[in-house]
Amino acid sequence: MSKTTPKPPQEDPIQDAADKPKPKDSVLRGLDAISVVMGGPLTVHFNIKERPCELLARYLNAEESELLKLQLDEIMPPLIRGKNEADDRFDYTNKEYLQRKTITESSVRAQAIFWTCMDVQNKANGEVKKDEMYKPSQTAAIKTFVQKLLPEDVLETIYRQVTRTPISIPKHVNLS
């Protein structure tokens, strides 16, 4: 009698894939796991002329978000004085304010895209000093460079995806 070793059971790749938790379905436990996901790659999806497009990026980190928020916070409309302090109001229709707001918002958008999209940084070829990209001296160069790449509506779509983290509260969490 010859001894034969039993063959391992045939694996069913379809069933195995169904049994394993998918990365999206698995629970992230602890700050380290959450940080890895938030600091990891993000695929920005959009369509141009009905053709799907993808751009590899990442979410803004907290420091970058703060730098951009500070720039946006500097834009203040002029104050229209009333008869007393309670009647004072901001003039949101002031043309100079609206121009400053538009310029600052497009600059902030360009910086966010430049900082989070490696393809954009690699395409800069010296037009922007990457090692100084967070310095105010590079803001104008970043804006000029990024605005040459794609139309405004595409840039806005990319910006919205790299700045808005998809956070939700699970239905089973009781907040009362």
For the stretch 107-124, pLDDT in tens is 999 999 999 999 999 999
Task: Please tell me the pTM assigned to this model.
Answer: 0.75
> Is 56 within the bounds of a domain?
yes
- 95: amino acid identity, one letter: K
Q: Domain for residue 101, yes or no?
A: yes
pLDDT digits (tens, 9 = 90+) for 53-84: 999 999 998 899 999 999 999 999 999 998 98
Give the residue with greater pLDDT, 115 vs 33.
115
> Is 16 among the domain residues?
no
Q: Do the domain assignments include residue 154?
A: yes
pLDDT digits (tens, 9 = 90+) for 130-146: 888 999 999 999 999 99
Q: Which domain holds residue 59?
A: 43-163
The answer to whether residue 174 sits within a structural domain is no
User: Is residue 98 situated within a structural domain?
Assistant: yes
Our count of domains for the chain comes to 1
pLDDT confidence tier of residue 33, bands split at 50, 70 and 90: confident
Give domain status of residue 172, yes or no. Answer: no
At 149-161, the pLDDT tens digits run: 999 999 999 999 9
Residue pair 79/90 in contact (Cβ under 8 Å)? The answer is yes
Report if residue 111 sits inside a domain.
yes
Distance of alpha carbon 35 from alpha carbon 13, whole angstroms: 31
Structure tokens at 133: 């990209």
Environment class of 6 (CB within 10 Å of its CB; exposed 0-12, middle 13-18, buried 19+): exposed
Other residues' Cβ atoms within 10 Å of the Cβ of residue 113? 27
